[in-house]
């Protein structure tokens, strides 16, 4: 670790972000770098709507997508901290419909080829994505995702209770605890929070997280008077290549305008919209030793790898991410890869489908937030460059 932690020249970070916007890789960008609880750099560049040339500013709203998982995980950690459940509780203790699971047989050619699960799903496995559930977005032709799609499991007109009941109709992809697979598990955690708290999911978030932290622009629904603050969504011209330049305006209403209607489904895995200012308040809270909703030792569970030895993150169609673990609700850097700062060991963080990202390094007491709106832009070049330049500006490697 570098001893020169006083360096705070962020000009190279700003230049890198400008190049990515000017090079047509992302439409606009907002970044914040936090050190010891203080925002030491904030940056906006580009247009929130390129066609109408609307400059991006601090009031603009972003689709958080999977960054929503941070809030849902925080909600679960709050309830655990109060002694409301144990991490290794079987999920059927609270959601009986998810008990007595069937698992797709290895090599199965049909969704009916199943065997009895060797164990129950635990809450810990939901939090670290080893439950056996999957998504229907990244590998839609595989047996279980295809079944999800055919049954319209991901239907915004279903509330969380109906959503979990629909999931329960299908087998798991693997025996709980034996593999990491990104999934609807965090949405199930949202329903778990409803059952344990006795409140609607959004009401719990409002009362226990958003109101206490002053996150007044964050929610599942954007009212009509705020609709013009929703940043326009773009998609890369080559959706299969997250490192390619070229953008197309995405006007598919089911995707781009979903937050402008109040839906029964409140997705804890990907449903929130937020502002840079609100997300910074959340990150600052988690870093704080005295002004956090969580005790430091509770937050550390999010930043501590919960996967078995030798198990790493892996997304369909991509190689295993050796060195990348998962805590209770967040990715964890166990061993940095070639694109990451050496000093990022112990960092937790995640990204969203439209290119938003956050990371916290509790060991160094630093954090970063990036907001943009490039659909299927998670883990792109902008997030790599932002983290590299933020660490460098703060005097780390």
| pLDDT surpasses 80 at 12 | yes
| pLDDT surpasses 50 at 314 | yes
Length of the chain equals 397
Separation CA 92–CA 354 (nearest Å): 33
Q: What is the pLDDT of residues 225-269, one digit of tens each?
A: 999 999 999 999 998 787 899 999 999 999 999 999 999 999 999
Q: Over range 319-341, report the average pLDDT.
A: 97
Taking the whole predicted model, whether its pTM rises above 0.95 is answered as yes
Q: Over range 71-82, report the average pLDDT.
A: 98
Q: Over range 312-330, report the average pLDDT.
A: 96
Q: Tell me the three state secondary structure of residue 147.
A: helix
Mean pLDDT lowest among 5-14, 52-61, 172-181, 304-313: 5-14
pLDDT given at position 242: 79
pLDDT given at position 7: 57
Q: Do domains 11-61+221-262+272-393 and 77-197 have the same CATH topology?
A: yes
The answer to whether the beta carbons of residues 9 and 42 sit under 8 Å apart is: no
pLDDT given at position 59: 97
Q: Angle at Cα 20 formed by Cα 349 and Cα 12, nearest 5°? A: 75
Q: Where are the domains of the chain?
A: 11-61+221-262+272-393, 77-197
Q: At what angle do helices 11-22 and 381-393 cross, to 10 degrees?
A: 170
Q: Compute the Cα dihedral for 87, 88, 92, 97 and give only its sign.
A: positive
Q: Over range 336-358, report the average pLDDT.
A: 97
Q: Over range 177-186, report the average pLDDT.
A: 98
> What is the 8-class DSSP label of residue 110?
S
> What is the 8-class DSSP label of residue 326?
E
pLDDT given at position 384: 97
The answer to whether the beta carbons of residues 60 and 233 sit under 8 Å apart is: no
pLDDT given at position 367: 98
The answer to whether the beta carbons of residues 283 and 35 sit under 8 Å apart is: no
The answer to whether the beta carbons of residues 160 and 191 sit under 8 Å apart is: yes
Separation CA 52–CA 46 (nearest Å): 12
| pLDDT surpasses 50 at 83 | yes
From residue 220, give the alpha-carbon distance in Å to each of 254, 258, 330. Answer: 14, 9, 21
Domain formed by 77-197, architecture: 3-Layer(aba) Sandwich (3.40)
Nearest Cα to Cα of residue 270 among 72, 57, 35, 74: 72
324: β partners: 333
Number of neighbouring beta carbons within 10 Å of residue 83: 7
Q: What are phi and psi of 220, to 5 degrees?
A: -85, -15
Q: Strand 247-249 vs strand 324-326: parallel, antiparallel, or unpaired?
A: unpaired
Topology at the third CATH level for domain 11-61+221-262+272-393: Beta-lactamase (3.40.710)
Q: Over range 101-113, report the average pLDDT.
A: 97
Separation CA 210–CA 212 (nearest Å): 6
Percent of the chain at pLDDT exceeding 70: 98
| pLDDT surpasses 70 at 5 | no
In this structure, the dihedral spanned by the alpha carbons of residues 252, 258, 263 and 269, taken in order and rounded to 10 degrees, is: 110
Q: Over range 369-378, report the average pLDDT.
A: 96
Q: Over range 285-314, report the average pLDDT.
A: 95
Q: What does the DSSP assignment read for 201-212?
A: HHHHHIIIIIHH
Q: Over range 42-48, report the average pLDDT.
A: 98
Q: Over range 105-116, report the average pLDDT.
A: 97
pLDDT given at position 8: 81
| pLDDT surpasses 60 at 4 | no
| pLDDT surpasses 90 at 290 | no
Helix (H) or strand (E) holding 369: strand 366-371
Q: Over range 128-148, report the average pLDDT.
A: 96
- Which residues, in sequence order, are CB contacts of 74 under 8 Å at separation 6+? 209, 282, 286, 293, 294, 329
């Amino acid at each position: 670790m570098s001893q020169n932690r006083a360096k705070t020249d962020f000009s190279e970070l700003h230049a890198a972000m400008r190049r990515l916007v000017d090079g047509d890789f992302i439409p606009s960008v907002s970044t914040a770098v936090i050190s010891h609880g203080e925002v030491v750099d904030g940056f906006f560049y580009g247009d929130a709507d390129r066609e109408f040339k609307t400059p991006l500013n601090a009031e603009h709203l972003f689709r958080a997508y999977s960054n929503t998982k941070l809030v849902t995980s925080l909600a679960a950690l709050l309830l655990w901290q109060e002694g409301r459940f144990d991490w290794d509780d079987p999920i059927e203790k609270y959601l009986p419909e998810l008990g007595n699971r069937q698992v797709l047989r290895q090599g199965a050619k049909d969704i009916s080829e199943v065997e009895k699960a060797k164990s129950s799903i635990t809450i810990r496995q939901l939090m670290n994505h080893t439950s056996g559930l999957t998504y229907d977005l990244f590998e839609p032709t595989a047996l279980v995702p295809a079944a999800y799609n055919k049954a319209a499991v991901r239907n915004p007109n279903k509330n969380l209770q109906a959503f979990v009941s629909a999931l329960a109709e299908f087998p798991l992809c693997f025996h709980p605890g034996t593999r990491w697979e990104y999934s609807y598990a965090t949405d199930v955690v949202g329903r778990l929070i409803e059952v344990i708290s006795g409140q609607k999911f959004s009401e719990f978030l409002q009362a226990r997280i958003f109101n206490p932290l002053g996150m007044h622009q964050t929610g599942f629904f954007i009212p009509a008077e705020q609709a013009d603050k929703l940043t326009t969504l773009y998609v890369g011209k080559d959706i299969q290549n997250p490192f390619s330049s070229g953008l197309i305006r995405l006007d598919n209403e089911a995707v781009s305008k979903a937050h402008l209607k109040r839906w029964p489904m409140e997705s804890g895995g990907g449903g929130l919209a937020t502002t840079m200012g609100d997300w910074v308040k959340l990150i600052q809270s988690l870093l704080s030793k005295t002004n956090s909703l969580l005790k430091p030792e509770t937050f550390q569970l999010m930043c501590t790898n919960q996967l078995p030895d030798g198990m790493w993150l892996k997304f369909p169609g991509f190689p295993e991410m050796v060195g990348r673990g998962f805590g209770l609700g967040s990715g964890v850097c166990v061993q940095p890869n070639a694109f990451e700062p050496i000093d990022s060991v112990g960092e937790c963080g995640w990204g969203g489908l439209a290119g938003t990202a956050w990371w916290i390094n509790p060991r160094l007491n630093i954090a970063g937030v990036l907001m943009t709106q490039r659909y299927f832009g998670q883990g792109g070049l902008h997030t790599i460059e932002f983290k590299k330049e933020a660490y460098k500006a703060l005097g780390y490697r």
